[in-house]
Amino acid sequence: MATILVVGEQANGHLKKATLSALTAAQQVAQNTGGNIAGVVIGAGAGQAAQELAAYGIPVHVVEGAAFEHALAETHSAAATEVAKKAGADEVVIAATAYGKDIAPRIAAKLGAGLASDVLAIAGSNQFKRAMWAGNAIATVEVTTPVKVVTVRATEFAAPQKAQGKGSVTPAQVAAPQPKTKFVEFNEVKSARPELTEARVVVSGGRGTKGDFKPIEQLADVLNAAVGASRAVVDAGWQPNDLQVGQTGKVVAPQLYVAAGISGAIQHLAGMKGSKTIVAINKDAEAPIFQVADYGLVADLFKALPEMAEAVKKLQ
Amino acid sequence: MKILVTIKRVEDYESKIKVKPDNSWIVTDGVNYRANPFDEIAVEEALRLRDSNMPSEVVVVSVGPAAAAAEIRSGLAMGADRGILVKHDAFVDSDGVARVLKAVIDTEKPDLVLMGKQAVDVDDNVAGQLLAEYLGWGQATFASKKESLESPEEKAKKPGVQLTVDKKSAQVAREVDGGLEVLEVQLPAIVTVDLRLNVPRYASLPNIMKAKKKPIAEMTPQQLGVDVAPKVKVVKVEPPPQRTAGVKVPDVQTLVQKLHSEAKVI
């Protein structure tokens, strides 16, 4: 029987939500191929995070130890590949996060597998849908190799239901590789707000803010939303890089996306047009963002956003 | 040091991309082509590293049709020293590109390979990582830098990729989820670059003229002994689902009321 291996992602013992999207994708693959699903979680704290993944009823392998402490592509891809081989996996599924994008190709190369990247939908036993040209076209790709590696766009796959029974969690013995890379430091961007890719509501600002994000942040606070930004804003150094929403930044699909002072360049739209409801607030009635917005308001964001924050407060 | 940079010929992101009626590919007639923007950032970084570590050489490599010589010329006009074009007209998947590049690198033996993190046509973001694995090298993907693109460091055209004192390794700040991670990677290594590593220079007219005389070596995948039959085939290309424009609301009160009672999102 075919085996599908989900490579989980964790930080400090907590499973990343994106891993559950990868599990959903693996379940869809299993429906096509009739395979079993197993998981692997690697790194410091993996044992704890593996328990979270096992709660979805799949057996989970754990790779821990000093050699795997940091998420280096060389060591983590080696561990995932060894587990995949021992499990006889013919498909490896990973969320297309920075971590997944870093390690998946190395796993594919080690397994001699074709890789379908940043997949939006499973289209058959060996076919997958993915965006190309900044989302201006959707391609169906066919992976021709017997073993396949797939990275999936987390926002396109809802998290699965927890299972009745818990899967087993077992340590996997894998050889410690000698990486040519070493971890130096991690400079975390700290925020009290929800993470951009996981938030239910996102309020984003563009060039129209002229660098003043106070109205964006005030509305975000009222809505318990994450703050996002257009590329112009981060290029100008007005906001940190990791807030950029777009094809080349973060791809988000919240319940509500508020775009304020954002004109709506193709590359920005590619990062947010999967949102359930889109609100555009812009002074320019001709801005392309209005073409994708469910609700458009032609207004100055410096007046409209504080007013909106007040109106939302009254509802709560 | 010798730095190898990859440049892909891609559709200009300012061009309107339309899908062919038979769903085989996109319409290419009337579309402008240019160097992949991420690759231009890689060229810029290579030039900065070269100029702060002389004597050094920057070699630009492209895998693509004969017309891709134009994109190699654009890299040479920015200041790179010479070019290599591996000619192939049909679609090559990222795995094929990685294996072709490995063959080039086996001969060229660069100390550092800089690549865009992804090409903006297929948006794959995998060739650099595949290449690193095929070579058995370390990798630092999504290279960025701690300073903003408005910083004095950027204005002074300082490289974001920092060579260690012994020049046997490089420190790279990487843009990952939740912050910036710094890795130290032994050379030779693969570094793929993200948007905010630098602002690429424009080619000056004298440099465009000079670039015409710089050499471009041509070869084919067959000559390099690489089979580029794709592991991942594109079987169908479709337009994305269209989002229809909704309604314009007259004021904030109406907007909030609709979000509450109609869309039920607040």
ipTM: 0.95
What separation in angstroms does the CA of A125 have from each of A81, A122, B5, B54, B95? 21, 8, 37, 53, 21
Helix, strand, coil percentages (3-state) for chain A, rounded to 5, are 35, 30, 35
Distance from CA of B94 to the nearest CA of A (A): 9
pLDDT bracket for residue A1 (50, 70, 90): low
Distance from CA of A1 to the nearest CA of B (A): 23
Distance CA A156, CA B198 (A): 32
Are A23 and A58 a contacting pair, CB within 8 Å? Answer: yes
Amino acid at B149: L
What pTM did the predictor assign? 0.91
Q: What pLDDT, on a 0 to 100 scale, did the predictor assign at position B179? A: 86
Contacts of B13 in chain A (CB under 8 A): 134, 266-267
Tens digit of each residue's pLDDT (9 = 90 or more) over B204-255: 999 999 999 999 999 999 999 999 999 999 999 999 888 888 999 999 999 9
Q: What is the 3-state secondary structure (H, E, C) of B13-27?
A: CCCCCCECCCCCCEC
Amino acid at A67: A
Amino acid at B85: L
**B204, two tokens:** 């000056």
Residue A191, C-beta contacts closer than 8 angstroms, at least 6 positions apart: A227
**B28, two tokens:** 């290419």
Of the candidates A102, A116, A249, the beta carbon closest to that of B232 is on A116
What is the pLDDT averaged over residues B10-15?
85
Contacts of A312 in chain B (CB under 8 A): 256, 266
Inter-chain touch B125–A101, beta carbons under 8 Å? yes
Distance CA A15, CA A22 (A): 12
**Model confidence at B14: pLDDT above 80:** no
**Most A-contacting residue of B139, B150, B175 (CB-CB within 10 A), to test interface:** B139
Distance from CA of B16 to the nearest CA of A (A): 9
Contacts of B263 in chain A (CB under 8 A): 256, 276-277, 294-295
* Percent residues over pLDDT 70 in chain A: 100
Distance CA A91, CA A84 (A): 8
What is the pLDDT averaged over residues B47-56?
96
Inter-chain touch A294–B247, beta carbons under 8 Å? yes
pLDDT bracket for residue B27 (50, 70, 90): very high
Contacts of B259 in chain A (CB under 8 A): 256, 277, 279, 295
Inter-chain touch A133–B230, beta carbons under 8 Å? no
Inter-chain touch A108–B178, beta carbons under 8 Å? no
Distance CA B5, CA B74 (A): 13
Instruction: Give how far the C-alpha of residue B177 lies from the chain's centroid of Cα atoms, to the nearest Å.
Output: 20
Distance from CA of B215 to the nearest CA of A (A): 31
Helices B127-135/B94-108 angle, 10° precision = 50
DSSP states along B161-225: SEE-TTSSEEEEEEEETTEEEEEEEESSEEEEE-GGG--PPPPPHHHHHHHTTS-EEEE-TTTTT
- Among B12-16, B55-59, B110-114, B201-205, the minimum mean pLDDT is found in B12-16
What is the pLDDT averaged over residues B24-45?
96
* Percent residues over pLDDT 90 in chain A: 82
By the 10 Å C-beta count (0-12 exposed, 13-18 middle, 19+ buried), A173 is classed as exposed
By the 10 Å C-beta count (0-12 exposed, 13-18 middle, 19+ buried), B8 is classed as buried
Place of tokens 């081989």: A85
Residues 22-81 on A with a CB inside 8 Å of B are: 72-74, 77
**Model confidence at A290: pLDDT above 70:** yes
Inter-chain touch B180–A186, beta carbons under 8 Å? yes
Contacts of B185 in chain A (CB under 8 A): 180-182
Contacts of A189 in chain B (CB under 8 A): 178-180
Inter-chain touch B123–A184, beta carbons under 8 Å? no
A284 in reach of chain B (CB within 8 A): no
Distance from CA of A253 to the nearest CA of B (A): 13
Q: What pLDDT, on a 0 to 100 scale, did the predictor assign at position A178? A: 94
What is the pLDDT averaged over residues B82-89?
98
Distance from CA of A61 to the nearest CA of B (A): 24
Instruction: Give how far the C-alpha of residue A35 lies from the chain's centroid of Cα atoms, to the nearest Å.
Output: 25
Q: What pLDDT, on a 0 to 100 scale, did the predictor assign at position A194? A: 87
**B78, two tokens:** 């920015």
By the 10 Å C-beta count (0-12 exposed, 13-18 middle, 19+ buried), B215 is classed as exposed
In terms of Cα–Cα distance, which of A210, A271, A182, A121 is closest to B140? A182
A242 in reach of chain B (CB within 8 A): yes
Q: Which helix (H) or strand (E) holds A310?
A: helix A301-315
A192 in reach of chain B (CB within 8 A): no
Q: Give domain B2-261's CATH superfamily.
A: HUPs (3.40.50.620)
**Model confidence at A54: pLDDT above 70:** yes
Tens digit of each residue's pLDDT (9 = 90 or more) over A223-254: 999 999 999 998 888 998 779 998 777 888 89
Inter-chain touch B184–A231, beta carbons under 8 Å? no
Nearest-CA residue of chain A relative to B229? A144
> Which residue stretches of A97-189 are H helix?
98-111
Inter-chain touch A137–B251, beta carbons under 8 Å? no
In terms of Cα–Cα distance, which of A95, A72, A73 is closest to A6? A95
Which residue ranges make up each domain of chain B? 2-261
Instruction: Quote the mean pLDDT of chain A.
Output: 94
What is the pLDDT averaged over residues B33-48?
97
Contacts of B239 in chain A (CB under 8 A): 136-138
Residues 125-184 on A with a CB inside 8 Å of B are: 127, 130-145, 179-184
Tens digit of each residue's pLDDT (9 = 90 or more) over A164-199: 899 999 999 999 889 999 999 999 877 788 888 878
Are B228 and B221 a contacting pair, CB within 8 Å? Answer: yes
Are A260 and A245 a contacting pair, CB within 8 Å? Answer: no
Of the candidates B19, B177, B252, the beta carbon closest to that of A307 is on B252
In terms of Cα–Cα distance, which of A61, A79, A277, A69 is closest to A171? A61
Amino acid at A73: A
pLDDT bracket for residue A277 (50, 70, 90): very high
Inter-chain touch A115–B126, beta carbons under 8 Å? yes
Tens digit of each residue's pLDDT (9 = 90 or more) over A123-155: 998 999 999 998 889 999 999 999 999 999 988
Residue B180, C-beta contacts closer than 8 angstroms, at least 6 positions apart: A186, A187, A189, A241, B144, B146, B173, B174
Query: For strand A127-132 and strand A137-143, is the pairing parallel, antiparallel, or unpaired?
Result: antiparallel
**Model confidence at B147: pLDDT above 90:** no
Are B45 and B197 a contacting pair, CB within 8 Å? Answer: yes
* B236 against A33, higher pLDDT: B236
Domains of chain A (ranges plus CATH)?
3-171 (3.40.50.620), 201-315 (3.40.50.1220)
Q: Omega before B240 cis (within 30°)?
A: no
Are B60 and B80 a contacting pair, CB within 8 Å? Answer: yes
A42-62 CB burial, b ≥16 within 10 A, e <16: bbbbbbbbbbbbbebbbbbbb
